[in-house]
Amino acid sequence: MLRPVCPLGAIPHGEAYRWAIDPPVAIFHTDDGEVFAVDDTCTHANVSLSEGELDDHTLECWLHGSRFDIRTGDPSGPPATVPVNVYPVKVQDGEVFVGLTPLND
- Domains, the chain, ranges and CATH? 2-99 (2.102.10.10)
For residue 89, report the phi and psi dihedrals to the nearest 5 degrees: -130, 140
- Give me the DSSP letters along 69-86: ETTT--EEETT--SPPPE
Q: How far apart are CA 66 and CA 71, in angstroms?
A: 16
Q: How far apart are CA 32 and CA 99, in angstroms?
A: 22
> What digits encode the pLDDT tens for the residues 47-100?
999 999 999 999 999 999 999 999 999 999 899 999 999 999 999 999 999 999
Whole-prediction pTM value? Answer: 0.95
- For residue 105, pLDDT over 80 is answered with no
- Give me the DSSP letters along 5-26: EEEGGGS-TTEEEEE-SSS-EE
Whether the CB-CB separation of 36 and 76 falls below 8 Å is answered with no
Q: CA-CA-CA-CA torsion for 12, 55, 91, 37, nearest 10 degrees?
A: -110
- For residue 3, pLDDT over 90 is answered with yes
- For residue 14, pLDDT over 90 is answered with yes
Q: Residue 1 burial by CB count (10 A; 0-12/13-18/19+): exposed, middle or buried?
A: exposed
